């Protein structure tokens, strides 16, 4: 006897899998590596520290 398949569920599963594969491809194409993220964060912190160090405090 054949397995009963809910067509609505099968259609949704197929669409979900398609979206997941597109998202994965997009992450590979546009994503940044952990090293790139860390370098950007370090640059932001360094810039903030330099700006704060040059700030003139007025009493």
**What is the per-residue DSSP string for 1-59?**
-PPP--HHHHHHHHHHHHHHHHHHHHHHHH---HHHHHHHHHHHHHHHHHHHHTPPP--
Residue 13 CB coordination number (10 Å):
11
Q: Is residue 59 domain-resident?
A: no
Q: Would 58 be classed as within a structural domain? A: no
> 38 in a domain, yes or no?
yes
42: in domain: yes
Our count of domains for the chain comes to 1
pTM above 0.85, yes or no: no
**pLDDT reported for residue 44:** 95
Residue 26: give the domain boundaries.
Answer: 7-53
Which tens digit of pLDDT belongs to each residue from 8-40? 999 999 999 999 999 999 999 999 989 999 999
Rounded to the nearest 5°, which phi and psi values hold at 41? -65, -45
Report yes or no on 37 lying in a domain.
yes
Kindly state whether residue 46 falls inside one of the protein's structural domains. Answer: yes
């Amino acid at each position: 006897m054949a397995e009963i398949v809910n067509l609505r569920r099968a259609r949704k599963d197929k669409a979900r899998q398609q979206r997941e594969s597109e998202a994965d491809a997009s992450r590979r194409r546009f994503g940044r590596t952990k090293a790139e993220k860390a370098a950007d964060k370090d640059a932001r912190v360094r810039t903030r520290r330099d700006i704060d160090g040059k700030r003139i405090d007025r009493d």
